[in-house]
Amino acid sequence: MMFPIELNHDIKAGVLKTLPMINDIKDEELRRRVVDAWTFSLQANGYAKIEEMPGSGMPEAEGLGDQSMHLIVVTLTAMSIYDNLEKAYKMDLGLDRDILLACAICHDIGKPYEYNPENRARWAIEYKKTGKPNLRHPAYGAYIALTAELPEEVVHVCANHSPEGRFVTRSAYGTIVHYADDGSWFSLASLLDLNIPKL
Ligand SMILES: [Fe+2]
Please say if the pLDDT value at position 199 is more than 80: no
Residue 11 CA, ligand 1 centroid: distance in Å:
21
Residue 162 CA, ligand 1 centroid: distance in Å:
8
Residue-level pLDDT at 121: 97
Residue 181 CA, ligand 1 centroid: distance in Å:
5
Residue-level pLDDT at 100: 98
Residue-level pLDDT at 198: 82
What pLDDT, in 10s, does the model give residues 68-103? 999 999 999 999 999 999 999 999 999 999 999 999
Mean pLDDT, residues 32-47:
98
Residue 86 CA, ligand 1 centroid: distance in Å:
24
User: What does pLDDT average to over the chain?
Assistant: 96
Cα distance between residue 188 and residue 63, in whole Å: 9
> Would you call the peptide bond into 197 cis, given omega within 30 degrees of 0 as the criterion?
no
Banded model confidence at residue 60, pLDDT cuts 50, 70, 90: confident
- For residue 196, CA distances in Å to 75, 142, 162, 179 come to 20, 24, 14, 15
Residue 9 CA, ligand 1 centroid: distance in Å:
25
Banded model confidence at residue 195, pLDDT cuts 50, 70, 90: confident
Please say if the pLDDT value at position 1 is more than 80: no
Residue 158 CA, ligand 1 centroid: distance in Å:
9
What pLDDT, in 10s, does the model give residues 132-170? 999 999 999 999 999 999 999 999 999 999 999 999 999
Residue 104 CA, ligand 1 centroid: distance in Å:
8
Mean pLDDT, residues 119-142:
98
- The lowest-confidence range among 83-92, 110-119, 136-145, 186-195 is 186-195
Domains located in the chain, CATH noted: 9-49+66-192 (1.10.3210)
Residue 57 CA, ligand 1 centroid: distance in Å:
6
Residue 135 CA, ligand 1 centroid: distance in Å:
16
Q: Bigger pLDDT: 2 or 185?
A: 185
Residue 1 CA, ligand 1 centroid: distance in Å:
25
